[in-house]
Amino acid sequence: MNDTPARLLRLLSLLQTPREWPGSELADRLGVTDRTVRRDIDRLRELGYPVEASMGATGGYRLVAGAAMPPLLVDDEEAVAIAVGLRAAAGSAIAGIEESSVRALAKLEQVLPAKLRRRVRVLDTALVPPTDDGPAVDPEILTALAAAVTNRERVRFGYRGESGAQTRRHIEPLGLVPSRRRWYLVGHDVDRDDWRIFRVDRIEQPQPTGARCTPRPLPAADAAAYVAGRRTNWGTPSFRVRVTIQAPVSRVAGRLGDSPGDIAAIDDGSCLLDVTRDDDPTWLAYRLIDLGADFQVHEPPVLVDRLRAIATRITNAIT
């Protein structure tokens, strides 16, 4: 084996088998001399692989645990097994390893040959994961979103809202966050020009667009902090929002996190927001104020209370 890179990869694959390899056996497997094996062992050590040598008639070489995790080589069967395990871990959001499972799965599936990806999907379909309190998440959707986050690439997808309404979204993805047996995507909505949080189990057919995006400043330390701040109580039920706004639909649409059909024209100068939402009422109150138009809240009472609290703070600040 005269190709040095190929020989080093083959040697590394042999050493990753948990046993001790006599130098003569490694030389025979690789078709080289004992001296070449020793030189190749030194090359691996220079690359950071902790190869230990023992002397004597029963001695040889073996790969041991080092200070850092070196790259590993796996065969086809091992790659399939790892991918299936990672998909199961990602889909069920195992506490503590959710994000790392998705990152590792995205890296692995990026380089899996087509025939191995098909095997992974077949096995994944046949396996029945343990049930839990969270909704099922398609690992393929998770990995597609993770790749878009890593590549800083805009993505389009279908999204099913709380009421069941379907919309199309164009997002600059920032991060995936697991919380209470659910996955959430944090991203900047290009069409609505605002940050959004999406439940991944409601996302359908994510498609990377190929357009790169520069990370925008998030109004939080990171994606996890943003989700925690915006979703302080995941068990809070949705609420009905009905607000008359003294402005035409064209001026309002898309500025309140609304979807097509959420806002209807009353006449040329006014419209009605009528939708079921699970947003923070305080956030919605500030968005209504930011419209710069008069409005009247019909429901819910909690939104009226938040607006009164804001008005009190403003009054106290200027008196």
| Residue range 61-74, pLDDT digits in tens | 888 876 565 666 66
- pLDDT score of 303: 92
How far is Cα 80 from Cα 105, in angstroms, rounded to an integer? 11
- pLDDT score of 319: 72
Q: What is the pLDDT of residues 181-224, one digit of tens each?
A: 678 899 999 998 899 999 888 999 999 998 888 888 888 888 88
Q: What is the pLDDT of residues 271-290, one digit of tens each?
A: 999 988 766 688 788 889 98
In percent, the amount of the chain with pLDDT more than 90 equals 24
- pLDDT score of 110: 66
Phi/psi-derived region of residue 127, left when phi > 0, alpha when psi is between -120 and 50, beta in every other case? beta
Please, which residues have CB within 8 angstroms of residue 130's CB and are 6 or more apart in sequence? 92
Phi, psi (5° rounding) for residue 151? Answer: -85, 0
- pLDDT score of 181: 60
CB distance 190 to 184 below 8 Å: no
How far is Cα 186 from Cα 198, in angstroms, rounded to an integer? 7
Which range has the worst mean pLDDT, 145-154, 172-181, 231-240?
Answer: 231-240
CB distance 90 to 99 below 8 Å: no
How far is Cα 256 from Cα 6, in angstroms, rounded to an integer? 58
Q: Which tokens sit at 149?
A: 């986050």
